[in-house]
Amino acid sequence: MEYSFLKINTINGICTLAISAPKSLNALNSTILKEMDDFLNHIPAEVRVLIITGDGDKSFVAGADISEMQNLNEQQGYEFGKLGADVFRKIETLPIPVIAAVNGFALGGGCELAMSCDIRIASVKAKFGQPEVGLGIVPGFSGTYRLTKMVGMGYAKEMIYTGKVIKADEALRIGLVNAVYEPEQLMDEANAMAQKIAANAPIAVRYAKECINEEYDLAAADAIAFENKMFGKCFATADQKEGMTAFLSKRAAEFKNE
Ligand code: CO8
């Protein structure tokens, strides 16, 4: 599939996806969401980490496309919401880690996109918010769910009810992002983090992501049992033998994703 709104660049197993809709500050319309879905379905096996950012220097994603949503009826609104929610869930459960490099506005669906990624880092210019109630809708791409999990019910309710926009330092303070960098450093830092991840055993990283995601909504006993099962599965991989042999031999491990 040819992409009109996605810029993709893969170097040494690290793929960067930049959403590019300059006329609307990278707002997500249904074509972009379908392109993202297709892209996520066809990520090459050699990719170890995905970085998602916004094209240009002003916006990560300024939300879902308001002009597309303006005249939707209830059923169409449901379907548009589900399209975005399904794509974001695909990101959340992708078998590789996903880093959001938030370079500017991350509003509404943009904040929700960032929250579907495993890790968020931001430029000092980034701004986050869930302004949906000011448009007569609730956050529709799983924002009520993920923001509440991420920053706690009290702050999520304040952000969602007021629609207030917060700066990067406040996002850092409430735990919405892990780190804040100068704009020109952001992609270098995202790549450095991706390289650190990519140097580790790919199956172990994949299982760790699966553990964290699955265990999040489980009771303690079930969560611990799930991790125990995944821990055992690691010992069926060649990379576990390689990782431990390399350590004991005082050499660097050469993982083969096997
Ligand atoms: N949708 C469509 N167009 C947009 C959007 C958007 N979300 N955001 C910006 N644009 C367009 C503007 O209309 C403008 O177009 P034009 O040049 O043709 O007038 C262009 O981008 C540039 O924007 P501004 O002139 O407004 O730029 P400013 O620097 O003055 O302001 C802001 C930047 C603050 C980001 C401002 O554009 C803004 O407030 N945008 C809307 C932000 C917003 O409300 N986002 C949430 C949208 S709702 C949503 O995301 C719901 C997700 C769940 C959907 C569930 C489906 C049912």
| Closest ligand 1 atom number to CA of residue 108 | 50
Any atom of ligand 1 within 6 Å of the Cβ of 129: no
Domain covering 6-198 in this structure, CATH number: 3.90.226.10
Catalytic residues: 112, 132
pLDDT at res. 196: 98
Categorize the per-residue pLDDT at 108 as very low, low, confident or very high, splitting at 50, 70 and 90: very high
Categorize the per-residue pLDDT at 102 as very low, low, confident or very high, splitting at 50, 70 and 90: very high
pLDDT at res. 189: 98
Query: Per the structure block, which two tokens stand in for 114?
Result: 């960032």
| Residue 54 bridge partners (DSSP) | 19
pLDDT at res. 244: 98
What are the residues whose beta carbons fall under 8 Å from the beta carbon of 255, sequence distance 6 or more? Answer: 200, 201, 202, 239, 242, 243
How far is the C-alpha of 83 from the C-alpha of 63, rounded, in Å?
Answer: 14
pLDDT at res. 153: 98
| Residue 122 bridge partners (DSSP) | 102, 180
Name the nearest CA neighbour of 95 among 11, 204, 8, 177. Answer: 204
| Residue 123 bridge partners (DSSP) | 181
Any atom of ligand 1 within 6 Å of the Cβ of 131: yes
Cα(63) to centroid(ligand 1), Å: 6
Any atom of ligand 1 within 6 Å of the Cβ of 66: yes
How far is the C-alpha of 214 from the C-alpha of 225, rounded, in Å?
Answer: 11
Share of the chain above pLDDT 70, in %: 100
Predicted confidence (pLDDT) per residue in 51-72, tens digit: 999 999 999 999 999 999 999 9
Predicted confidence (pLDDT) per residue in 227-245, tens digit: 999 999 999 999 999 999 9
Contact 67, 19 (CB under 8 A): no
Summary count for the chain: helices (H), strands (E): 11, 10
Predicted confidence (pLDDT) per residue in 112-158, tens digit: 999 999 999 999 999 999 999 999 999 999 999 999 999 999 999 99
pLDDT at res. 20: 98
| Closest ligand 1 atom number to CA of residue 25 | 21
Q: Where are the domains of the chain?
A: 6-198, 202-249
Name the nearest CA neighbour of 41 among 86, 4, 99, 5. Answer: 86
Cα(252) to centroid(ligand 1), Å: 48
Categorize the per-residue pLDDT at 250 as very low, low, confident or very high, splitting at 50, 70 and 90: very high
Domain covering 202-249 in this structure, CATH number: 1.10.12.10
Contact 17, 7 (CB under 8 A): yes
Q: How many CB atoms lie within 10 A of CB 226?
A: 15
Probe residue for ligand 1, chosen from 5, 24, 25, 103 as the CB with the greatest number of ligand atoms within 8 Å? 25
To the nearest 10°, report the CA torsion of 26, 29, 30, 36.
Answer: 10
Handedness of CA 29, 14, 233, 231 (dihedral sign): negative
pLDDT at res. 243: 98
Handedness of CA 43, 115, 210, 238 (dihedral sign): positive
Q: How many CB atoms lie within 10 A of CB 99?
A: 25
Contact 62, 25 (CB under 8 A): yes
